[in-house]
Amino acid sequence: MEHKPPLLEMTGITKRFPGVIALRGVSLTLHQGEVLALMGENGAGKSTLMKILGGAQSQDEGTIRIDGKPVVFENVRAAKQHGIALIHQELMLAPNLDIAANIFLGGERKTLLAPLPRGEFNERARALLARVGLERPPTTPVSELTAGQMQMVEIAKALALDARIIIMDEPTSSLTAGESEHLFAIIRKLREEGIGIVYISHRMEEVLELADRITVMRDGGYVGDLRRAEATHDKIVQLMVGRDLSGAYFPERPRSATQEPMLVVENVIVPGAAAGVSFMAYRGEILGFAGLVGSGRTELMQTLFGVTPALGGTMLLENQPYSPQNPRQAIARGVYLAPEDRKRHGLVLPMTIAENTSLPNIASYARFGWLDRATEKRVAEAEIARLRTKAFGIAQKVVNLSGGNQQKVVLGKWLAMNPRILILDEPTRGIDVGAKAEIYRHMAALAADGITILMVSSDMEEVLGMSHRVAVMHEKRLRGILPIEGLTQQRIATLMTGGKGAQAA
Amino acid sequence: MKRETGMGVALLAMCVALYASNPDFLGASNSINTFRQISMLGIFAIGTGFVIITGGIDLSIGSTIGLTGVIIAKLSSPSCLGLSLWVGIPVALGIALALGGIQGLLITHLGLQPFIVTLGGMLLIRGVSQTIADGGTLSLSGSPLLDFANGGYVQVHGAALLPYPLVLFLFVIGIATYVLHFTVYGRYVYAIGGNRDAAEYSGINVRRVEASTYLISAGTAGIAGVCYASYIGQMSQQVGIAYELYAIAAAVLGGCSLRGGEGTVLGIVIGSAVMRVIDNGINMFQLHYVDTDQVPRIWRLNPNWTYIIIGGVILVAVILDQTVHLVQAKRRIRAAGALAEAQKAAQTAAANDAAAKSGANGPSAPPPPVVTPPHDPPGQQGDQP
C-alpha cells in the first residue's frame, strides 16, 4: 500500500458545554473507501464529535486534517466545501419542496436572483437518484416519500456536493428491514467509489455486517478501535460500557411487583394506530416498553397521559374508570409523565428550579390565588436534596443545568405530588453515566414504594436492567409482554423488528 | 430586573437633561400633562403586556380604544342619544371586553395565529367606529366626561396635581402587579410564555389562561379609551390609530420579549414613561447659543424627527440588551467548562486512587470507568456567575 495520509484525521478534539465536557481529546481516523462504525452509549459524545466534523459546532481544542492538511470549519458550509456531508437522524429535508429542489438546496447558484435552472436540476437529480437506486421522478414532493426514500434523497444530496466523507447518524432507526437492506447496498457501492463513511448506530448486527472498522467512545472519550475481523458483539459491548452491566450499574430490582393491578388498559386505540392496545401494569412494577423509533411507544404514553385522548377502549386506574382527555385530568389521578423531549415538553427553561418544581402543583398550596413562596421553596429544596440535583440553589434557571440535572428537576416536580403511575419516556437519554445510575436508583426505590413505572427506552441494556416485564411494540402494535427472567436482547430485537417467536404473556 | 434598571436610569438621565435644557419641562403644566400621557399609554400597555408575556400579540387595542370612545360619544353625548354616562361607559367597556374575549377564543380554541386574528380585529373594529361615527366626528361637548381627563385631586393654582387618569393608572399598576407577580394565575402566564407545551404537560389549562389575557388587554384598552375620549373631547375614526404599536414598543423597551415569558409590570411602566418623555422632550428640548452676529438664539429639535428618534431609541435598546445577553452567555459557558473540568479531574483522581488501592487493573484494560462520580453538595461551586 502506498503511504498516503488518511482521508480524515481528527486528533485531540475537546469540546465543553455548560456544566459538562462533551469530548475529551477524542481522536478518529477515516480512510478512503472505508466504512467506520462509531459506537458508544447515548451521551458518549458521538453526535457532538460528528457535529464538529460537520461544521455545526466548533471544537475548543484539537485539529482536523483532511488528506493530511489541517482544516478549520467555521460553519456547515465550510465543512461541505471540504466534501463532508452529515446526514442527521432526523432528516433535514423541506417536505414542501420536491426532490430536485431538496437535493440542490443551498447549492443552487452564484446569485440569489438568477432563475432556477429547473431542467438542469431535474436532469442531474435523475442521475443522482439512479446512483442511490430511488425510482421516483425528481419532481416528486418530498412529503410523499417514505422514510427510507427520504434517506436516499439525503444521500443523493450529499453526492451532489461531491462529498468524500458521509456521516450517517442512526440511518436505519426509522427504516423497515427492506429499506435497511437497500441502504446497506448503497453504502457498499459508495465505499467502492472511494467515499469514506462514518456510520453511527446502536444496532450491533448492522455494524458487524457493514463496518470495516469500529471506533468506540465512552463518556466523551476515545476508548478503542476494533478491526472487523476481531470485532464481536461482546467485545464491542465491553468497550462501550467498560464494566459488567449487571453489577454496580443497575440497582437491585425490588423483589417483585405485586399482583395487584394498578392500570388495566383494554383495547385502547391511540390516534394514528390501527389496532387497540391491551395490557396490565401492577402496583410497584417497572414495565419497560421496547421498540424502534416510531413504533408507537411515545404515542401510547401520550394517550395514557391525556395529551392525545384515546379514540376507543377502556382503562381502569386502581379499579376506577380512567379516560383522561387532557394532562390535567391525568395529573388529577396521579398519573405523571416525564416526556421524551424534556426541553420541549418537560421544562420551562427560562424559569427557576423552584418554579418548575411547583408548576403542576402550585395552585393546591396557594391561598386565594396568592402564591405561597415559602411552601414552594420548601418543596423544591426537599426535591433537589432527595434527587441530589447539582445546582447552586433552587433559584437557578433550569436552562443552565446539565441534561441529567434537568431530568432530575422533571422527576422532582412529579415526586413532590405522590405519583401513582410515573411514565418515564427515555428517562436517561442524553444523560451522563453518573446521573443515570442515580436515576435508576430512584426508579427502583419508587417501585419499592408501590409506584408503577412505565418506562419507554431505546437503550436495550436499560430495558433489561430495570424492567420487571418488557412490553415490545412494533408498528403501533403491542407485540407481546415478556417476563424479564431469561429474557435476552436477541428475543426483544426479534419482536421489535416484526419477527415472531413470543406470545403475549 | 436588569432591563428595568437600565431603562430606569436612561429615563432619569433623559429627564435631568431635559430639565437642564428647559426648566419648563418640570413645570406644573408640562409635568402634569406628561404624567397624564404616560398614564393613558401605561394603562393599556400593561394590559397588552399580559398577552405579550404569554407569547401572543394584540394588534386590536388601538381600535378598541377608538371604539370605546365612539360608543360613549354616541350613547352619552348631549348631541347624540344623550343617555347617562352610567349607561354609556359600562356598555362601551362591556363591548370592549366582549371583543377581547371573542378574539381570545378564536386564538385559543380554533388555534388561529394571534397576529392574524387581532389584525382582522383591528381593521374590523376600526370600521365599526367609522360606521357609528358615520365617517365624521362625534363631539362630546357638554358631557361631564370632559372634566375627567383634565380634572383630578390636589388642586393647586387651578391645576390638579393628581389627574384622574394617573389615579386610574396607579390602580391598574397595583392590580396588575398583584396578579402578575403574586398569584398562581401570573405564574401560569409566565409559564405559558416560557414553554407552552411544558405548561400543558404540567396540567395548566393553557387555553383558558391564554384567552383571558386577551380579555385583560381589551379591558385595559377600554379604560384607556374612556380617558382618551375625555381628553380629546371629540371622537372620529382617527382616535387610537397605531396605539397598539406604542404599547408594544413600551412593553419591549421595558423588558418584555415578543417570544414570551419575560417582562414585568414595573418594566412596562418605565417603558411607557420613556416613550412619552421622548415624545414630550422633542417639543421641550432647547439649546441656547449665540450666533456669529452675537444674537442669542435657541436651537430646537425638528418635530418631524419624532418617529426617527423613537424608532432609533427602540432599536438601540434592543441591540444593547442583546449584546449584554451574548456577552453573559459566553462568560457563563467558559466558567461552566472550567468548573466541569475541575470536577472531572477530581473524579479521575479519586478513581485512580481507588484503582491504585485495589490494584486490579491490568495495563491493557480500558481506563477505569467512573460509575458514580462524587457529587458536590449544591452551593459549593462558587466560582460561577
Contact A17 B333 (CB under 8 A): yes
Kindly state the average pLDDT of the residues B249-268: 94
Kindly state the average pLDDT of the residues B172-199: 95
Specify the 3-state DSSP secondary structure of B287: strand
Kindly state the average pLDDT of the residues B293-306: 90
pLDDT top residue among A291 and A108: A291
Confidence of residue A207 (pLDDT cuts 50, 70, 90): confident
A366 has a chain B CB within 8 A of its CB: yes
Contact A433 B370 (CB under 8 A): yes
Sorted by where each begins, the domain ranges of chain A are 8-246, 260-334+454-505
Tens-digit pLDDT profile for residues B13-49? 999 999 999 999 998 889 999 999 999 999 999 999 9
Contact A370 B197 (CB under 8 A): no
Lowest mean pLDDT among A81-95, A305-319, A471-485: A81-95
Confidence of residue B223 (pLDDT cuts 50, 70, 90): very high
What share of chain B in percent tops pLDDT 90?
Answer: 64
Inter-residue contact A363 to B205 (CB < 8 Å): no
Provide the 10 A C-beta neighbour count for residue A69. Answer: 10
Kindly state the average pLDDT of the residues B217-242: 94
Tens-digit pLDDT profile for residues A52-105? 998 888 889 999 999 999 998 888 888 888 999 988 877 788 888 899 988 888
How high is the pLDDT of residue A243? 56
Kindly state the average pLDDT of the residues A194-223: 88
Provide the 10 A C-beta neighbour count for residue A441. Answer: 15
A325 has a chain B CB within 8 A of its CB: no
* Neighboring chain A residues of B183 at a CB cutoff of 8 Å: 366, 369-371
Tens-digit pLDDT profile for residues B98-110? 999 999 999 999 9
Tens-digit pLDDT profile for residues A422-438? 999 999 877 766 788 88
Specify the 3-state DSSP secondary structure of B72: helix
Kindly state the average pLDDT of the residues A388-416: 90
Query: How confident is the prediction for chain B on average, in pLDDT?
Result: 87
**A273 has pLDDT over 50:** yes
Q: For residue B227, which of B168, B268, B140 has the smallest C-alpha distance?
A: B168
User: A103: exposed, middle or buried (C-beta count within 10 Å: 0-12, 13-18, 19+)?
Assistant: buried
Residue of A nearest to B181 (CA): A371
User: Which of A347, A362, A390 shows the shortest C-beta gap to B195?
Assistant: A347
* Min distance B105 CA to chain A CA atoms (Å): 18
ipTM for the complex?
0.80
CATH number of A8-246: 3.40.50.300
A145: enclosing H helix or E strand: none
Provide the 10 A C-beta neighbour count for residue A319. Answer: 10
Question: What fold is seen in the domain A260-334+454-505?
Answer: Rossmann fold (3.40.50)
Q: How far is it, in rounded angstroms, from Cα B340 to Cα B346?
A: 10
Q: How far is it, in rounded angstroms, from Cα A153 to Cα A133?
A: 10
Q: How far is it, in rounded angstroms, from Cα A60 to Cα A16?
A: 7
How high is the pLDDT of residue B384? 39
Question: What fold is seen in the domain B2-301?
Answer: ABC transporter involved in vitamin B12 uptake, BtuC (1.10.3470)
* Neighboring chain A residues of B378 at a CB cutoff of 8 Å: 384, 389-393
pTM for the model stands at: 0.79
Inter-residue contact A214 to A39 (CB < 8 Å): yes
The three three-digit cell numbers of residue A13, written as one number: 478534539
Sorted by where each begins, the domain ranges of chain B are 2-301, 312-348
- Which A residues 410-439 touch B at CB under 8 Å? 413, 433-434, 437-438
Kindly state the average pLDDT of the residues A260-281: 93
